[in-house]
A = this chain, B = another copy of it.
Amino acid sequence: MTTLKNDRFLRALLKQDVDVTPVWMMRQAGRYLPEYREVRAQAGDFMSLCQNPELACEVTLQPLRRYALDAAILFSDILTIPDAMGCGLYFAQGEGPRFMKPVQTPGDVEALEVINAEKDLGYVLDAVRLIRKELNGSVPLIGFSGSPWTVATYMVEGGSSKEFAIIKSMMMNTPTVMHELLEKLALSVIDYLNAQIDAGVQAVQIFDTWGGALSAHAYREFSLAYMNKIVAGLNREKDGQKIPVILFTKNGGHWLEAIVESGCDCIGLDWTLPINEARARVGDRVSLQGNMDPAVLYGDASAIRREVGLILEQFGHGNGHVFNLGHGIHQHVNPDHVTAFVDAVHELSAQYHA
């Protein structure tokens, strides 16, 4: 189906036969790797690293040099879109992301313009083209975006939040304004992901990190509805190859039946719902990605192997499983433990694909 040397990841997303279960990790290019920290220090701040295609390419490739991962993921951030919209993204020392101009009033929302990715986020597309060239067909490259709801939480709160007081007030008291913001973000995400696909990414993932902070009905109205719109607006094929779409709502396990309806190819799972239960609920309609607790990587090699074996056994025989963590890898994990993890997935999964 492709000229890739290793196409397990794309095949599993589309529920096709594979020899072993493919594996990658959210945030696999990141702070747990000493070589990443070195490049990061060289770049200066985090956004300078994202905005430098050569350095972004370098850190994207780093984990692939260490581990037998079945996919690369573009090194970037979910907040490049609001940054391109003029919200003034910065990272305060030792804190999370912050915005100089939070979006909190009807006027703030009205003033925002839908981005043009080619013009506004050319540095990301340059990075995609460079990474594809450097990967040279070894494994596929994943592009990504935050979901409109998740990106909006940072824009409205002005940074990270625990209780989402400001955005939930907006949602309750001025739902029309909230929808206007989400609509502009959805259109921006469609343009951004289609530009990433044009530039060469071979699958895309939408990270809905904070959809799970909503009630079931609020999730449908304020998060899922906009992901549905995005899935419908994406170019799902390029050069005769299907571009699979993964939706990942952390803490969204109660809503799998609704998420399936989006038309996505794959649902990402956190580790609270056993993958066999998820599979029973979605049937053959989508593939599943997940779902090991990232904290298992604090365990020794035998503990990691035991947990990998358990999840593979839960999924059982058949196609449609991409192994991953249920959230990004933690920064204090010992890099050697990742070797044990990746190798365990490949070694222990062969029996389920015989």
Contact = CB atoms under 8 A, between A and B. Distances in A.
Interface of A: 163-165, 168-169, 172-173, 212, 214-218, 251, 253-254, 271-274, 277, 293-296, 298-300, 303, 310, 330, 332
Contact of A298 (B169, B251, B253, B300): B169
Number of identical protomers: 2
Contact of A173 (B218, B271, B300): B300
B216 A295 contact: no
Contact of A214 (B251, B293, B298): B293
Nearest to A297: B172
Nearest to A327: B163
12 contacts: A163-B294, A163-B295, A165-B330, A168-B295, A168-B296, A169-B295, A172-B298, A172-B303, A214-B293, A215-B271, A254-B254, A254-B273
Nearest to A170: B298
Contacts of A273: 216, 254
Closest 4 CB pairs of A and B: A172-B299, A168-B295, A169-B298, A215-B271
B215 A272 contact: yes
A298 B165 contact: yes
B215 A169 contact: no
Given A169-B295, A214-B293, 15 more contacts: A163-B295, A165-B295, A165-B332, A168-B295, A172-B295, A172-B299, A173-B298, A173-B300, A173-B303, A215-B293, A216-B273, A216-B274, A217-B274, A218-B293, A254-B272
Contacts of A217: 274, 310
A268 to B, nearest CB: 15
A218 B293 CA distance: 10
Given A298-B168, A299-B169, A272 B293 contact: no
Nearest to A292: B215
A330 B168 CA distance: 12
Contacts of A214: 272, 293
Contacts of A165: 295, 298, 330, 332
